[in-house]
């Protein structure tokens, strides 16, 4: 926990952030801030666990990467 990060994969590896717009635990606005470094941002009308409530959409997103 006290070591300095020497490399950050997000700088070199393409990344996608899935914003769950209906998440009641982490607001969509906060998720959008977290996603600022991602190369691609996708929003989905889903709660905190989109792989449970919208598995089809998550599957399509992952297969499309």
The full length of the chain comes to 65
> What value does the mean pLDDT take over residues 50-65?
96
Query: DSSP letters of the chain?
Result: --SPP---GGGTS--EEEEETT-SSS-HHHHHHHGGGSSEEEEES--S-HHHH-HHHHHHHHHT-
Higher pLDDT among residues 6 and 14, named by residue:
14
Q: Given a cut of 90, is residue 1 above it in pLDDT?
A: no
Q: Choose among 50, 24, 23: nearest CA to 59.
A: 50
Q: What is the pLDDT of residue 41?
A: 97
Q: What is the pLDDT of residue 20?
A: 98
The C-alpha atoms of residue 13 and residue 56 are separated, in whole angstroms, by 25
The per-residue pLDDT for range 7-56, each reduced to its tens digit, is: 878 778 899 999 999 999 999 999 999 999 899 999 999 999 999 999 99
């Amino acid at each position: 926990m006290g070591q300095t990060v020497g490399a950050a994969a997000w700088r070199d590896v393409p990344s996608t952030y899935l914003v769950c717009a209906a998440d009641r635990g982490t607001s969509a606005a906060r998720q959008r801030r977290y996603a600022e470094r991602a190369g691609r941002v996708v929003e989905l009308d889903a709660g905190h666990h989109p792989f449970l409530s919208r598995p089809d959409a998550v599957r399509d997103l992952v297969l499309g990467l």
